[in-house]
Structure 1
Amino acid sequence: MVTKFKSLDAITGTGALLIVRLDSAEEALAVSEAAIEGGMRALEITLSVPGALDVISKLSTRYGKDGVVVGAGTVLDDHAAHACISAGAGLLVSPNLNPAMIATANRYQAVTVSGAFTPSEIVDTMQAGADIVKLFPAEFVGPEYVRTVTAPLPQAPLMPAGGVTPDNVKTWFDAGVVAVGVGSSVTKAARPDGDYRRVTAAAEAILRAIGEARG
């Protein structure tokens, strides 16, 4: 069993959470496996993926013993939270604050990454017990917003989600984030020709860039 501490380390240790939001269970599974081969240790399968719970179950069974934390995304309430945890999710992600979702996750020692945007939302999210605050949508504000928010709130464990690439990841870590949410730059890398080795290479590239950004 992957403990909450190990699950958190899978995110903060690598500095990345892969957001898998794709059109089919087959593609989500293939992309996830290719990204894990490339070094990803924390993945979020969004509930918009058809058969998402089955994908989570398969991945957590195959890779949970290897220190990979497989989670669910767009978890909006406590009912969805319990279903995801029952399927094997050790991580729950939401675009907004739902205290009941966080409470359910904490009851079963699942990591929570809960969405917020304004300073008030960020404080409310931390107060509700979230482990990481997902800055969402991040692409509309950028790293300077993180610097501005963390000046009065240096304790806020922020993770931007949206628009993160190897080219800009250093600016986010320089601003003070604990990790970044990585999406289409990795998950859709195989779309041109169906070669999932592109996903593996893209995962390696973003993790290498994160390592360099952290010094």
Structure 2
Amino acid sequence: MFNSKNKDVQQYLTQKALDLCDMGFDAIRLDHATGPCYAFWKYFVRNIKAKYPKVRLIGEVWGELDFKPHFYIRYFLNKLRYDAQEARQLEYVGIFDGVLDFRYQQFMCEAVHKENVIINNRKLQEEVKLHFARYPTGFQLWLFLDNHDLNRFLFECGGNEKLFEDGIYYSQQQYMPWLMFYGTEKEFTNKKSIFDGTPYADERVRMCLN
């Protein structure tokens, strides 16, 4: 466990990111972005952007914040107006270039669970439209339907391939970047939820390609 308040840690991890940029990376996904302190991210972003201003820094903002919110009142009000995940993502506006949009993924799962329809789903369309409007122009919401920490989207669709395909099509029509988890193109799914309390259950969605 790194102490992100330590100056040596800040310099070391920032240099590792700069090494990636030197190799030609033009975007970096920042895992567990809610873990490091704000001082770390301020140092990290300032130094990356000084040398590579066009590199996109995208945070994985999901789960509880390890540090108190930067602007507690704003965060508290966002939790009252929206929900916890939306509040977390909004907390990193002005820090990163964007975030992986877990709230969008939740909207998509809610649509297939409750209405069993995506295309021409007016409720979903309105929710997504309002969600996007909460973020300033230039802040990227990177959309996805599933990843290595979540159930496969086909599982969330109850195995319904039409819903699954509609989810992909709908996501591709948005004006935000869209990410496809490996295996989605082969209709990978899991037979049991990875959230059933079983140790290492996430291995159910991390199967190897043939």
Shorter-chain TM-score range: 0.3 to 0.5
Higher relative contact order (CA 8 A, sep 6+): 1
Q: Which structure has the highest strand share of the two?
A: 1
Larger Rg, first or second structure (1 or 2): 2
